[in-house]
């Protein structure tokens, strides 16, 4: 294999694989084809914080010894530059060093002995540099001295630069994935605890649910409040079978705020979660009450102290203890920090510290309630629903929003399909990911494929640089394909593959790109009919039509029109700088009677135009002159005249024009094209009396 080919291969692996274990195991397998080594691993460092961690290890050694190579907790990076490790932090370069177990830092001794046990005698350190900044080191363990010769070091340095970007990308991907997992856990945790908030064993439920993500053996809460007469101490200890059991903790053992405040100003700090240091742990374990209590069966080697609330009247102290030395990893501490608002609100709710509105407000602020309680009225961004038809649509939005199901939004132009798509994304677990919008009708047919899937440089005339497609940009989030019915048939085939296989290729590209995207499509066409006529792929239609949402036209949302009118008046009055206007009763009836073929968008433009030209306290709708056939049907029916009424009006008009004369050359009968006697008979039947003719004659 040529060196350049190896670098290209590794680059393609980095560009196409995001999952950490698969990515670095694939790189490990590729490197072993080129270099003679046995095990590999990556150390990640943060020079700003002065800490590092074992980012990844890959080897062919047994699982038991392999577990020793992973060290979950952070360590001080200064230990890496000291003997016997001797990493070069100042001027990083590829170096080799013999494996010397003696003198290893305490946290690495077991790992070093495990490495030596499988015959590793030499280590090669490759710095991972990105933009000149050191991100960590790739470590290769060899069973023979000089098995990786010095002339391979330049190639290893180039590989290290590639892997630095892989570490950064993987770390970012992990952070996003972890954040999504955190939000999912927050939502699930909150819902489960609120469902048992009135049960006497609510704190036992809390301990069990929290223990599913944070490993601990001891759980303690202390609540003190004079106003609400709440004074509580609850403790649970986990037994050998993993079940929590309640017991009373002696007051002398409880770790109170005054003791912790000797080290950290917990109540004036934004940070609410603190991992106890060795001094704090010894302070608790050495107490006489601890030694004489059942709790001493738990060798306390790790602890976390959480300040949930403290003010002039109330204090909530939360403590977790563990028997493990490496307990409470940075990930667990981060989760606990994120859980503080939930824990605080749950306890405040339990003790009536806050109304349920405070809880809902906090949950919405943390984006954990999805669509929350179904509201009949949503003014945010013009999203209004008072009519039964729209409320039914919102119920379907709420049902499908938190699920990754493909959604097809159907409705006429201007009904707000994009607003529904945004609501689906914002209330999904992908809300922290991108929302990429594509208007398929606005793109030339020859550019749609490039816009959606991207292209490589030189893949066609005018492709002067690589272009990342919308599906690639939407990875981890949502893509909204508006006017999906406008897609050419050849692009529909490629879109079908993306939906089925979750992968595609750029135009002119050779590698397959995998994407994790939720698809929301919208159309104002009847795709089912178009599929039957061969204008739209039927297999794509059935893939998109998993969960259809129909948005009713504005003419079927009569109750929403006044709300929209008031909303748009206020919006444009504030935007233009005019006092808020009112709409007269007469104009309101005109607006209500109109059928709005352009739906909400047309209504918005009508109100905006009226606000611009209006000067008084009332909206001036003089420019609003809808065609008669677009008036509300019920209004037209109400004022629709019978045939007799029309005939009577027509005869009276003819009599008026002929000055009341019925027969003769200048009579009404000739004007109407009928015989004079026939007209006289029709007048008697319709009740047009002779007095009327006389009156007409006199008026003339």
The reported pLDDT for the residue numbered 538 is 92
The reported pLDDT for the residue numbered 482 is 92
pLDDT tier at 380 (50, 70, 90 boundaries)?
Answer: very low
In a domain, 181, yes or no: no
Statement to judge: residues 318 and 261 lie in one domain: yes
Average per-residue pLDDT in the chain?
A: 78
Which among 197-206, 212-221, 340-349, 373-382 has the top mean pLDDT?
A: 212-221
Total-model pTM: 0.41
With a cut of 80, say whether residue 495 has pLDDT above it.
Answer: yes
Of 488, 522, 550, the position where a domain reaches its end is: 550
Cβ–Cβ contacts within 10 Å for residue 230, how many?
Answer: 16
Angle in degrees, 0-180, between the axes of helices 202-211 and 153-195, rounded to the nearest 10 = 160
| Residue 581 exposure: Cα atoms within 13 Å on the Cβ side | 28
Instruction: Report, as an integer, the average pLDDT of 216-239.
Output: 71
In a domain, 237, yes or no: yes
Statement to judge: residues 38 and 84 lie in one domain: yes
The reported pLDDT for the residue numbered 605 is 92
CATH code: domain of residue 501: 3.40.50.300
Of 399 and 81, the structure prediction assigns the larger pLDDT to: 399
In a domain, 326, yes or no: yes
In a domain, 186, yes or no: no
Angle in degrees, 0-180, between the axes of helices 330-350 and 356-365, rounded to the nearest 10 = 160
Cβ–Cβ contacts within 10 Å for residue 34, how many?
Answer: 16
Task: Determine the Cα–Cα distance for residues 329 and 335; give it in Å rounded to an integer.
Answer: 10
The reported pLDDT for the residue numbered 661 is 84
Overall number of domains in the chain: 5
CATH code: domain of residue 361: 3.30.450.40
Of 496, 522, 550, the position where a domain reaches its end is: 550
Instruction: Give the model confidence (pLDDT) of 154-183 as tens digits.
Output: 999 999 998 898 888 888 877 787 788 888
List the Cα angle 628/634/640 in 5-degree steps.
Answer: 65
The reported pLDDT for the residue numbered 420 is 92
In a domain, 375, yes or no: no
Statement to judge: residues 546 and 559 lie in one domain: no
Q: What is the dihedral of CA 183, 186, 189, 192, to 10 degrees?
A: -80
In a domain, 541, yes or no: yes
Statement to judge: residues 534 and 601 lie in one domain: no
With a cut of 60, say whether residue 266 has pLDDT above it.
Answer: no
Task: Determine the Cα–Cα distance for residues 548 and 408; give it in Å rounded to an integer.
Answer: 5
With a cut of 80, say whether residue 625 has pLDDT above it.
Answer: no
Instruction: Give the model confidence (pLDDT) of 520-538 as tens digits.
Output: 999 999 999 999 998 899 9
pLDDT tier at 251 (50, 70, 90 boundaries)?
Answer: low
In a domain, 425, yes or no: yes
Of 493, 521, 550, the position where a domain reaches its end is: 550
DSSP secondary-structure letter at 275? E
Statement to judge: residues 238 and 314 lie in one domain: yes
With a cut of 70, say whether residue 686 has pLDDT above it.
Answer: yes
Instruction: Report, as an integer, the average pLDDT of 684-698.
Output: 57
With a cut of 90, say whether residue 318 has pLDDT above it.
Answer: no
| Residue 667 exposure: Cα atoms within 13 Å on the Cβ side | 16
The reported pLDDT for the residue numbered 184 is 84
Read out DSSP for 323-367?
S-TT-S-HHHHHHHHHHHHHHHHHHHHHTTSS-HHHHHHHHHHTT
Of 693 and 622, the structure prediction assigns the larger pLDDT to: 622
Task: Determine the Cα–Cα distance for residues 482 and 521; give it in Å rounded to an integer.
Answer: 6
Min mean pLDDT across 103-112, 408-417, 562-571, 601-610 is at: 103-112
Statement to judge: residues 409 and 542 lie in one domain: yes
Statement to judge: residues 354 and 208 lie in one domain: yes
Statement to judge: residues 628 and 649 lie in one domain: no
Statement to judge: residues 253 and 385 lie in one domain: no
Instruction: Report, as an integer, the average pLDDT of 643-667.
Output: 83
Instruction: Give the model confidence (pLDDT) of 499-522 as tens digits.
Output: 888 888 888 877 788 889 999 999
The reported pLDDT for the residue numbered 458 is 75
The reported pLDDT for the residue numbered 200 is 66
Query: Taking a C-beta distance cutoff of 8 angstroms, is the pair 581, 614 a contact?
Result: yes
Min mean pLDDT across 74-88, 357-371, 392-406 is at: 357-371
Exposed/middle/buried for residue 101 (C-beta within 10 Å: 0-12, 13-18, 19+): middle
Task: Go through the chain and tell me how many residues it has.
Answer: 700
The reported pLDDT for the residue numbered 666 is 81
With a cut of 60, say whether residue 263 has pLDDT above it.
Answer: no
Beta strands 503-504 and 478-482, pairing class: unpaired
Tokens, residue 601: 């968008």
Min mean pLDDT across 35-39, 127-131, 279-283, 609-613 is at: 279-283
The reported pLDDT for the residue numbered 424 is 92
Instruction: Report, as an integer, the average pLDDT of 220-241.
Output: 69
Q: What percent of the chain lies above the pLDDT cut of 70?
A: 79
Statement to judge: residues 153 and 246 lie in one domain: no
pLDDT tier at 656 (50, 70, 90 boundaries)?
Answer: confident
With a cut of 90, say whether residue 388 has pLDDT above it.
Answer: no
CATH code: domain of residue 591: 1.10.8.60
Which among 136-145, 174-183, 672-681 has the top mean pLDDT?
A: 136-145
In a domain, 361, yes or no: yes
Statement to judge: residues 211 and 153 lie in one domain: no
Statement to judge: residues 143 and 26 lie in one domain: yes
Domain assignment of residue 280, given as a range: 196-365
């Amino acid at each position: 294999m040529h060196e350049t080919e190896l670098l290209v291969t590794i680059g393609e692996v980095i560009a196409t694989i995001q999952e950490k274990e698969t990515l670095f195991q694939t790189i490990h397998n590729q490197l072993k084809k080129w270099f003679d080594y046995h095990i590999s691993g990556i150390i990640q460092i943060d020079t700003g914080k002065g800490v590092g961690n074992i980012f990844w290890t890959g080897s062919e050694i047994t699982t038991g010894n392999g577990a020793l190579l992973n060290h979950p907790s952070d360590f001080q990076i200064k230990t890496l530059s000291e003997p016997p490790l001797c990493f070069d932090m100042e001027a990083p370069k590829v170096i080799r060093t013999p494996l010397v177990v003696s003198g290893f830092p305490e946290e690495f001794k077991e790992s070093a002995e495990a490495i030596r046990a499988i015959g590793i005698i030499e280590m090669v350190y490759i710095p991972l540099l990105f933009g000149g900044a050191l991100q960590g080191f790739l470590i290769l363990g060899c069973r023979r001295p000089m098995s990786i010769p010095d002339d391979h070091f330049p190639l290893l340095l180039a590989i290290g630069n590639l892997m630095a970007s892989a570490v950064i990308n993987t770390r970012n991907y992990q952070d996003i994935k972890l954040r999504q997992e955190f939000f999912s856990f927050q939502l699930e945790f909150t819902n489960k605890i609120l469902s048992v908030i009135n049960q006497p064993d609510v704190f036992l439920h809390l301990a069990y649910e929290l223990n599913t993500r944070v490993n601990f053996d001891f759980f303690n809460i202390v609540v003190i409040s004079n106003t609400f007469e709440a004074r509580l101490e609850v403790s649970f200890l986990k037994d050998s079978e993993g079940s929590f059991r309640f017991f009373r903790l002696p007051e002398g053992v409880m770790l109170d705020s005054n003791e912790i405040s000797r080290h950290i100003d917990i109540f004036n700090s934004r940070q609410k979660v603190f991992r106890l240091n060795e001094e704090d742990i010894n302070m608790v374990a050495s107490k006489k009450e601890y030694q004489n209590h059942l709790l001493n069966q738990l060798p306390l080697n790790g602890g976390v102290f959480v300040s949930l609330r403290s003010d002039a009247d109330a204090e909530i102290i939360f403590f977790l203890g563990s028997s493990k030395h490496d307990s409470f990893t940075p990930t667990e501490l981060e989760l606990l920090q994120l859980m503080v608002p939930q824990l605080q609100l749950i306890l405040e709710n339990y003790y009536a510290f806050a109304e349920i509105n405070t809880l809902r407000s906090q949950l919405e602020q943390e984006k954990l309630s999805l669509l929350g309680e179904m509201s009949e009225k949503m003014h945010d961004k013009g999203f209004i629903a008072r009519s039964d038809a729209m409320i039914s649509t919102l119920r379907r939005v709420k049902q499908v929003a938190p699920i990754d199901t493909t959604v097809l939004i159907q409705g006429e132009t201007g009904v707000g399909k994009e607003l529904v798509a945004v609501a689906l994304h914002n209330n999904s677990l992908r809300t922290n990911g991108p929302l990429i919008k594509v208007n398929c009708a606005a793109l030339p047919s020859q550019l749609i494929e490039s816009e959606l899937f991207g292209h490589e440089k030189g893949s066609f005339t005018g492709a002067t640089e690589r272009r990342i497609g919308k599906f690639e940009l939407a990875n981890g989030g949502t893509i909204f394909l508006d006017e999906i019915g406008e897609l050419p048939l050849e692009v529909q085939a490629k879109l079908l593959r993306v939906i089925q296989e979750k992968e595609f290729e750029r135009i002119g590209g050779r590698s397959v790109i995998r994407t994790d995207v939720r698809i929301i499509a919208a159309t104002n066409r009847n795709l089912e009919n178009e599929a039957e006529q061969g204008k739209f792929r039927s297999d794509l239609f059935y893939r998109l039509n998993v969960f259809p949402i129909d948005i009713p036209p504005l003419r079927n949302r009569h109750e929403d029109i006044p709300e929209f009118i008031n909303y748009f008046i206020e919006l444009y009055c504030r935007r233009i700088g005019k006092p808020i206007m009112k709409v007269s009763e007469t104009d309101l009836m005109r607006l209500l009677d109109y059928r709005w073929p352009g739906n909400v968008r047309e209504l918005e433009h009508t109100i905006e135009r009226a606000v611009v030209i209006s000067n008084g306290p009332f909206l001036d709708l003089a420019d609003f002159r809808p065609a008669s056939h677009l008036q509300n049907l019920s209004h037209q029916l109400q004022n629709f005249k019978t045939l007799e009424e029309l005939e009577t009006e027509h005869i009276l008009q003819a009599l008026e024009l002929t000055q009341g004369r019925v027969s003769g050359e200048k009579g009404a009968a000739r004007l109407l094209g009928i015989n004079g006697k026939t007209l006289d008979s029709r007048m008697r039947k319709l009740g047009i009396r002779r007095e009327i003719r006389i009156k007409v004659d006199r008026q003339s």
